[in-house]
Amino acid sequence: MDRAAEAKTQGALQLDAAGRLRHLLTLYQLPRPLIEALLARAAAFAAKPAARHATLAGRCVASLFFEPSTRTRASFELAAHRLGATTLNLEAERSSAVKGETLEDTLLNLQAMGVDAFVVRHAEAGVHARLARVAQAGVAIVNAGEANVSHPTQGLLDALTIRAHKGADFSTLTVAICGDILHSRVAASAASVLTTLGVGELRFVAPPGFQPPAADGQRLFDDVDAGIAGCDVVMMLRIQRERIGSTDAPDDAEYHRRHGLTAARLARAKPDCIVMHPGPVNRGVELASEVMDGPRSVILEQVANGVAVRMAVLEALLAR
């Protein structure tokens, strides 16, 4: 199944008959009112980061990560705690998966113990939809990263961060997503949410080996200087080395020279352009330290917004 077909299947799975969110599997074609409601709720949480809530008291959120994570995992855990839920952190490499248990069976067992939501990161496409099919009513699957396919809460936190700086009307904005787009689930989810929110112009800026197969609605650039010219938002991406054969990965210094974002390059964007990055950043490769630590960088705001967005998502899925 191609990306679009798989996303359609997920779209049908994640909404109940009344159109409410039952799982969060993808942002692709997620209805705009649902996205706007999640962003509004997340903005309210972000405005009061010290507030603690009891909305999810007695509920349990389990995280099941089969790929490395710092920000996403920590922020889901903090989000659950700030809503009063308990959390269960399963080390995937130490779970029974290594003894041959299927992921579906792991889910059924944890569900039997009363876990209400599963936050899952996996390198294989389609795993989240498979789990959503076997989850019992009321148990939610939350996609925390699926292969190079999607990373919905990252897309939401990116939209929230853009909104905080540029306002809710995205139709006047030009956004450039730059770097290894081909292997990036972050780019895919950002493109979905920005498209739904009516972004004025979306540019994919990538060297030939990192360009997505076909651009639907995006302008494609292979030259970063041209790609970021006049932009309101520049989102830089890490080279996803874990998804590229080591012989095909470019040399770091050469990549930085040709495609990295430096202060001199950034001068081509609008004077109030913000610079984003999902993390982890490879300093001096896709992004110069002077830009990462500079006044246009909103990278740590993205991280803070990640907790607020995940609170909004867990509340929408689990609050009774």
Quote the tokens at residue 128: 């989240």
What are the residues binding ligand NCD (CB under 6 A)?
Answer: 71-72, 145, 151, 154, 185-186, 238, 278-279
201 in Cβ contact with 170 (< 8 Å): no
Q: Tell how strand 174-178 and strand 219-221 pair up.
A: unpaired
Burial class (CB in 10 A: 0-12, 13-18, 19+), 54: exposed
204 in Cβ contact with 212 (< 8 Å): yes
Q: Of 167, 180, 176, 277, whose CA–CA distance to 225 is shortest?
A: 176
Helix 152-166 vs helix 32-47: crossing angle, to nearest 10: 70
Shortest Å distance, C-beta 278 to ligand NCD: 4
From CA 177, how far away is CA 224, in angstroms rounded? Answer: 10
Shortest Å distance, C-beta 53 to ligand NCD: 24
Shortest Å distance, C-beta 180 to ligand NCD: 8
Give whichever of 10 and 72 is closer to ligand NCD, judged by the CB atom: 72
Shortest Å distance, C-beta 25 to ligand NCD: 15
Beta-bridge partner residues of 274: 233
Give whichever of 148 and 174 is closer to ligand NCD, judged by the CB atom: 148
Total residue count of the chain as it appears in this document: 320
Shortest Å distance, C-beta 118 to ligand NCD: 17
Please provide the distance, in angstroms rounded to a whole number, between the alpha carbons at the two ends of the chain: 35
Shortest Å distance, C-beta 176 to ligand NCD: 17
Shortest Å distance, C-beta 240 to ligand NCD: 6
Give whichever of 180 and 232 is closer to ligand NCD, judged by the CB atom: 180
Amino acid of residue 104: E
Task: Return all residues near 141 (Cβ < 8 A) that are at least 6 apart.
Answer: 23, 24, 25, 117, 118, 120, 128, 131, 132, 135
> Sheet containing 140-146: which strands, arranged edge to edge?
86-91, 60-65, 117-122, 140-146
Map tokens 């004077």 to a residue. 271
Give whichever of 122 and 265 is closer to ligand NCD, judged by the CB atom: 122
Give whichever of 106 and 154 is closer to ligand NCD, judged by the CB atom: 154
Give whichever of 139 and 235 is closer to ligand NCD, judged by the CB atom: 235
Shortest Å distance, C-beta 199 to ligand NCD: 20
Shortest Å distance, C-beta 237 to ligand NCD: 6
158 in Cβ contact with 235 (< 8 Å): yes
Burial class (CB in 10 A: 0-12, 13-18, 19+), 9: middle
Give whichever of 62 and 187 is closer to ligand NCD, judged by the CB atom: 187
Give whichever of 145 and 212 is closer to ligand NCD, judged by the CB atom: 145
Give whichever of 14 and 302 is closer to ligand NCD, judged by the CB atom: 302
Please report the sign of the dihedral spanned by the C-alpha atoms of residue 162, residue 164, residue 165, residue 168: positive
